[in-house]
Amino acid sequence: MNLTTAEENYLKAIYHLSEGGSKSVSTNDIAGEMKTKPASVSDMLRKLSDKEVIEYRKYYGVHITEEGKKRALQTIRKHRLWEVFLVDKLNFAWDEVHEVAEELEHIQSPLLIQRLDAYLNYPKFDPHGDPIPDEYGDVRARPRVPLNEMDLDQTGQIVAVKDSSAAFLRYLDKVGAYIGARIKILDRVEFDGSLEILVDNKKNIFMSKDVAGNILVIQS
Amino acid sequence: MNLTTAEENYLKAIYHLSEGGSKSVSTNDIAGEMKTKPASVSDMLRKLSDKEVIEYRKYYGVHITEEGKKRALQTIRKHRLWEVFLVDKLNFAWDEVHEVAEELEHIQSPLLIQRLDAYLNYPKFDPHGDPIPDEYGDVRARPRVPLNEMDLDQTGQIVAVKDSSAAFLRYLDKVGAYIGARIKILDRVEFDGSLEILVDNKKNIFMSKDVAGNILVIQS
DNA sequence: TATTATTTTTAGCTATATCTAATTTAATTT
DNA sequence: AAATTAAATTAGATATAGCTAAAAATAATA
Ligand SMILES: [Mn+2]
Ligand SMILES: [Mn+2]
Ligand SMILES: [Mn+2]
Ligand SMILES: [Mn+2]
């Protein structure tokens, strides 16, 4: 059974909100994520349920099925491969790629994605540090910790961001917190949880707890 | 005023059928080209007329407006740039690109097309020899003649094909009639108009009048 | 437990894009 | 000029994807 563009977008949202299928997701949360109204979500859930990509009990939220998970991961794979293409080949900035990838991910052509993957040299992560599922939907996840949960004097490397909004990414560009940067926690302000961080052993930057919570690191 | 994907596809068809806006186009012809029914075309013509990209007098066919021509050329530009990308960068065969380009041409991002154009080194022709309009819709047309209209002993170079169907293009691959090939008309069978042609001064091939009519050459 | 608040669904409407069948208009033949 | 044929439009469906407003179900609180 084929999915429409709208159905693919909803399924992807459900996959993300359920944290990969482990949690149940509410109608309201989906409406929030999709920027639609709960009434529209109810309609869509019936359709997705008919196509057996979700399990739906009225009034009790939805679970994604194995088939649904597979479909969502394919769309995510396409989204992230296109993002790599835009950044690596067309010189887009990492804050400019999301919208376009949101459209490109719906192009139907297995050959296209296979060739694109090869052309990009089988990348494992997208420009925001998110892992790219392989063609079978397998993801090589790395153990990642939000920067604000690290201890004083701990070191690590920035590997991803939780928030991919242009505003947030441009802020990171400005302060120099790019993916791959080596960091060390120098100080934590007890009052508001904000941090002082050493970047690449040469630059001191300050950031709020909120910002740090959206930066993911591998500890070292 | 923005056009939907369906509207863009219809407008492109009208542009092609009208030979760049010079002829009036009938409802039935559009239905044939779009593989829809005349009733659907009537509906669409009303919409396109409301958006002022065509001039529509009921029962008397349509003309494309200047604005419509501009829009159609933008879509054609995107289609052909994507085809170049697929062939030059992703190693698609020239008979594999049309369907995918038919989807890719509707991605809305001026930046994407600008960057893609630069990345491909501002190509002037697509894999089928068709000219790529610039961002203002200007086309550098070459004087092209169907192969079957050439005289005996005349020489020329294949620069484009009229039919871009996979079946036709695969046939050309098989006989070695690629774009750029230098050709000479060796013989014409009076009975059915079929031709014997010398390709690149080394290979003799025979083709029907029908095939030759779909191959475009520059005479030399 | 009864009331209130929140969440979710349903009913009914709009808009796009298609279809078939019926009707209307235009073009072509007697 | 009338009759016939062909082309095009309209009427009335269906399917998708969204909305608002009202109703219903569940969850929270007094
Ligand atoms: Mn999308
Ligand atoms: Mn991303
Ligand atoms: Mn198209
Ligand atoms: Mn082409």
Q: What is the pLDDT of residues B125-137, one digit of tens each?
A: 999 999 999 999 9
* Tens digit of each residue's pLDDT, chain B (220 residues): 899 999 999 999 999 999 999 999 999 999 999 999 999 999 999 999 999 999 999 999 999 999 999 999 999 999 999 999 999 999 999 999 999 999 999 999 999 999 999 999 999 999 999 999 999 999 988 889 999 999 999 999 999 999 988 899 999 999 989 999 999 999 999 899 999 999 999 989 999 999 999 999 999 8
pLDDT in tens, A199-219: 999 989 999 999 999 999 999
Residue B141, pLDDT score = 82
Whether the CB of A39 is less than 7 Å away from nucleic strand C comes out as yes
Neighboring chain B residues of A104 at a CB cutoff of 8 Å: 104, 107
CA distances from A21 to A17, B90, B126 (A): 8, 34, 44
What is A5-64's CATH number?
1.10.10.10
Whether the CB of A61 is less than 7 Å away from nucleic strand C comes out as yes
Chain B nearest C-alpha distance from A81 (Å): 14
Chain A residues at the B interface, defined by Cβ less than 8 Å, are 86, 89-92, 96, 99-100, 103-104, 107-109, 111-112, 115-116, 119
Expressed in angstroms and rounded, the spacing between residue B164 Cα and the centre of ligand 3 is 15
Tokens of A60: 């009790």
Alpha-carbon torsion, ordered A18, A23, A24, A29, to 10 deg: -40
Chain B nearest C-alpha distance from A140 (Å): 26
In this predicted structure, the answer to whether residue A1 has a pLDDT above a threshold of 90 is: no
Residue B140, pLDDT score = 87
The overall average pLDDT reported for chain A is 95
Neighboring chain A residues of B86 at a CB cutoff of 8 Å: 112
Q: Which of residues 23-82 of B touch strand C (CB under 7 A)?
A: 35-37, 39-40, 43-44, 47, 59-60
What is B145-219's CATH number?
2.30.30.90
DSSP code per residue over A91-136: ---TTSSHHHHHHHTT---HHHHHHHHHHTT--SB-TTS-B---TT
Chain A nearest C-alpha distance from B103 (Å): 6
Long-range Cβ pairs for the range B131-138 (8 Å, 24+): B131/B80, B132/B77, B132/B80, B132/B81, B132/B84, B133/B73, B133/B74, B133/B76, B133/B77, B134/B77, B135/B77, B137/B69, B137/B70, B137/B73, B137/B74, B137/B77
Q: Which pTM was predicted?
A: 0.93
Chain B residues at the A interface, defined by Cβ less than 8 Å, are 86, 89-92, 96, 99-100, 103-104, 107-109, 111-112, 115-116, 119
Going by the DSSP 8-state scheme, the letter that residue A176 receives in this structure is T
Whether the CB of A155 is less than 7 Å away from nucleic strand C comes out as no
* Residue-range domain boundaries for chain B: 5-64, 145-219
Q: Do domains B5-64 and B145-219 have the same CATH topology?
A: no
